[in-house]
Structure 1
Amino acid sequence: MSNWNPGGQPPFNPQGQPPPPPAGGYPPNAPYPYPPQPNAPYPYPPQPNVPYPYPPYPYLPAAPPGPLTRLWRQIGPVPVARRVFKPSRPGIVQDPVVARMQRIRTLVGLAAVVWMSVTYKIADSARVGDSVGNVASDRLNQSWISVLVLCVTFPAVVGVLLALASASARRELLRRAAKCFGAMVALVAAVFVFPASVLTGFVEGRFATNPVMTVLTYTGILLTFVWVLPFVIAGIGLALLHVFRTADIHETMPPLLAMTLVWEMALIDLFTGAYTGVPAPVRILFMLGAPLSVTAVGLWELRRLRAHHGIGLQGLLMRQGPGQA
Structure 2
Amino acid sequence: MNAWNQQGGQPPYDPYHPNQPYHPNHPYGPQPLPRPAPRVGVFRRVWRAVGPIAVGRTVFRPSRPGRVDDPVVARMQRIRTAVGLAAVVWVMISYRLVASVGDFADDRVHQTWINVLVLAVTFPVVVGALIGAARPPARRELLRRAARPFGSVVAIIAAVALFPAAVLTGLLDGRFATGPATTVITVLVALLMIVWVLPFVVYGAGMSLVHVFRTADVHETVPPVLALVLVWEMALIDLFTGAYEGAPGTVRILLLLGAPLSVTAVALWELRRLRVGYGLTLRAALMR
Equivalent position of 2:44 in the other structure: 69
SS at match of 1:277: coil
Taking structure 1 as the reference length, what is the TM-score of the superposition? 0.76
Q: Does structure 1 retain, via aligned residues, the 8 Å contact 2:138–2:285?
A: no
Deviation at 1:63, TM superposition (A): 4.5
1:185 corresponds, among 132, 142, 154, to 154
Deviation at 1:81, TM superposition (A): 0.9
Equivalent position of 2:186 in the other structure: 217
Q: Does structure 2 retain, via aligned residues, the 8 Å contact 1:87–1:246?
A: yes
Deviation at 1:53, TM superposition (A): 7.0
Equivalent position of 1:104 in the other structure: 79
One-letter identity of the residue aligned with 2:48: R
In the alignment, is residue 296 of structure 1 matched against residue 287 of structure 2? no
SS at match of 2:121: helix
Q: 1:223 to 1:117 in 2, by over 3 A?
A: farther
2:276 corresponds, among 307, 311, 316, to 307
One-letter identity of the residue aligned with 1:247: A
- Between the two proteins, what is the percent identity of the paired residues? 62
One-letter identity of the residue aligned with 1:93: V
Deviation at 1:137, TM superposition (A): 2.0
**Distance of 1:87 and 1:305 partners within structure 2:** 17
1:298-321 alpha-carbon deviations (Å, 9 max, x no partner)? 1111121122222122223145xx
1:212-232 alpha-carbon deviations (Å, 9 max, x no partner)? 111111111111111111111
One-letter identity of the residue aligned with 1:79: A
> What are the ranges of 5 or more consecutive residues in structure 2 without an aligned counterpart?
1-24
Deviation at 1:64, TM superposition (A): 6.1
Equivalent position of 1:198 in the other structure: 167
In the alignment, is residue 272 of structure 1 matched against residue 247 of structure 2? no
**Distance of 2:280 and 2:66 partners within structure 1:** 13
Q: 1:284 to 1:155 in 2, by over 3 A?
A: same
Deviation at 1:51, TM superposition (A): 4.4
Q: 1:65 to 1:163 in 2, by over 3 A?
A: same
The 5-angstrom pairing of residues 50-69 of structure 1 reads 51-52=26-27, 54-58=29-33, 62-63=37-38, 65-69=40-44
Equivalent position of 1:16 in the other structure: none
The 5-angstrom pairing of residues 197-276 of structure 1 reads 197-276=166-245
Root-mean-square deviation over aligned CA pairs = 2.0
In the alignment, is residue 136 of structure 1 matched against residue 111 of structure 2? no
**Distance of 1:154 and 1:189 partners within structure 2:** 16
Taking structure 2 as the reference length, what is the TM-score of the superposition? 0.85
SS at match of 2:67: coil
Deviation at 1:104, TM superposition (A): 2.1
The 5-angstrom pairing of residues 36-185 of structure 1 reads 51-52=26-27, 54-58=29-33, 62-63=37-38, 65-120=40-95, 123=96, 128=99, 131-185=100-154
**Distance of 1:51 and 1:275 partners within structure 2:** 68
Q: Does structure 1 retain, via aligned residues, the 8 Å contact 2:97–2:245?
A: no
Q: Does structure 2 retain, via aligned residues, the 8 Å contact 1:85–1:242?
A: yes
Q: 1:268 to 1:76 in 2, by over 3 A?
A: same
Q: 1:117 to 1:198 in 2, by over 3 A?
A: farther
Q: 1:59 to 1:132 in 2, by over 3 A?
A: closer
Q: 1:105 to 1:64 in 2, by over 3 A?
A: farther
**Distance of 1:53 and 1:185 partners within structure 2:** 57
Tell which structure's C-alpha radius of gyration is larger.
Answer: 1
Q: Does structure 1 retain, via aligned residues, the 8 Å contact 2:56–2:204?
A: yes
- Deviates most, 56-65 or 228-237: 56-65
SS at match of 1:229: helix
